[in-house]
Structure 1
């Protein structure tokens, strides 16, 4: 497999694992008769941090393991990625998100059948605000993504023991989730939201409602805006 194709595949596979484990923990906490039902936000934040860690481990030996269009855009702005790979990476990430979310549905199919809250079901696949205010929601997503991107850039300035970088990224995700996730569910990743939202729209999920496409642009615009700001800030610092 050629270098570029392998990197693109790694973005697909890594994002698939990210969403499978990340949306999977939300399903475990949210769906009726799950053994983890109602275990709470801390479990979700820890689960997402672990999901990112495992996904980066699985994909990073094949490519840069962005697994997030916002990260891809920031790295291209910083000169760490060819702009010619930006669109292929993003497409691979979104498709990976669709497949990962589909596997979550297959894993919990019987539990979806007995869960009748449509908002809960959508919340497994995509993010939504606690208080809907697009301007505030974009600001929240941008701030969370700025922390994410600055963290990734900062980690690269240190000598890290071999194999430990994914753990640092996972801790970063847990911190963002616990501190900033309560307002919007901290997408901070357009592919993590858009891919599963497409899956929610297309799959024959029992008891599902609308996919809330009226909000879907927020977890795209907010993270990309945050990525651009963070890349600009870091360029001024370094």
Structure 2
């Protein structure tokens, strides 16, 4: 239960700060309005940094169903523990999205663009082409998981700074591969907040784009699993 609570808290922090920076950039009247992809990528990197160092000692800080499944495929995590981790991560993602909405509620109300409101919860393609969008998500998650599996734990712990390599990895993926689909790389980062978008009484919202929702979910799980297989072969 301590591990599951850690995954819940860590994922909630991740989505709170990650979706929070998206809200800061996209919603009308914020201090960071229209500051662009670089700010979003940096904010997500810091979100990963905070989430990972906060709960790494408790749960291992997967914070992502794609990571938990990939670690199980690689034989580094028990399959029996995967459902509990995924459930905790999804619940954390929903909690983080709820907090973003509460914090930015006035800005949601003053923003006219329904697409921008949706984008503060979940990802969407810059150009809608499902094969290309799926490939983007698969490759981004492949890079994420393969690099994580390749990281060697330092012999001397640096405390919170041990989370820095993962944060820099997410920053690199964001600025290099984030322009096509928004680099979800995680059902807990995309599907869980998308569910909250559908449930919350957001003024002037659009549909939650369920026709696209399978892309970040399936793409991240496939990309992570392929990375685990490739790493095992290497």
Which residue in 2 is equivalent to 1:137?
133
Which residue in 2 is equivalent to 1:43?
39
CA deviations over 1:149-177 (Å, ceiling 9, x no partner): 11101113664642232111000000000
Which residue in 2 is equivalent to 1:61?
57
Per the normalisation by structure 1, the TM-score is 0.95
Instruction: Give the paired residue count.
Output: 233
1:148 and 2:148 are equivalent in the alignment: no
What residue ranges of structure 1 are gaps of 5+ in the alignment? none
Select the residue among 178, 181, 185 that pairs with 2:178.
181
Select the residue among 14, 26, 31 that pairs with 1:30.
26
Using the alignment, how far apart are the partners of 1:148 and 1:82 within structure 2? 20
Using the alignment, how far apart are the partners of 1:160 and 1:150 within structure 2? 23
Runs of 4+ residues over 4 Å off in structure 1: 157-161
Using the alignment, how far apart are the partners of 1:108 and 1:236 within structure 2? 46
After TM superposition, give the deviation of residue 79 of structure 1 in Å: 1.5
Question: How has the CA–CA distance of structure 1 residues 85 and 170 changed in structure 2, closer, same or farther, with 3 Å as cutoff?
Answer: same
What residue ranges of structure 2 are gaps of 5+ in the alignment? none
Which residue in 2 is equivalent to 1:219?
216
Select the residue among 198, 201, 206 that pairs with 1:201.
198
SS in 1 for 2:47: helix
Using the alignment, how far apart are the partners of 2:156 and 2:59 within structure 1? 18
After TM superposition, give the deviation of residue 232 of structure 1 in Å: 0.5
Using the alignment, how far apart are the partners of 1:87 and 1:39 within structure 2? 38
1:233 and 2:230 are equivalent in the alignment: yes
Which residue in 2 is equivalent to 1:126?
122
Q: CA-atom RMSD, angstroms? A: 1.1
Using the alignment, how far apart are the partners of 1:103 and 1:119 within structure 2? 19
CA deviations over 1:60-111 (Å, ceiling 9, x no partner): 1211100001100111111111111101111111111111000000000101
Using the alignment, how far apart are the partners of 2:71 and 2:162 within structure 1? 17
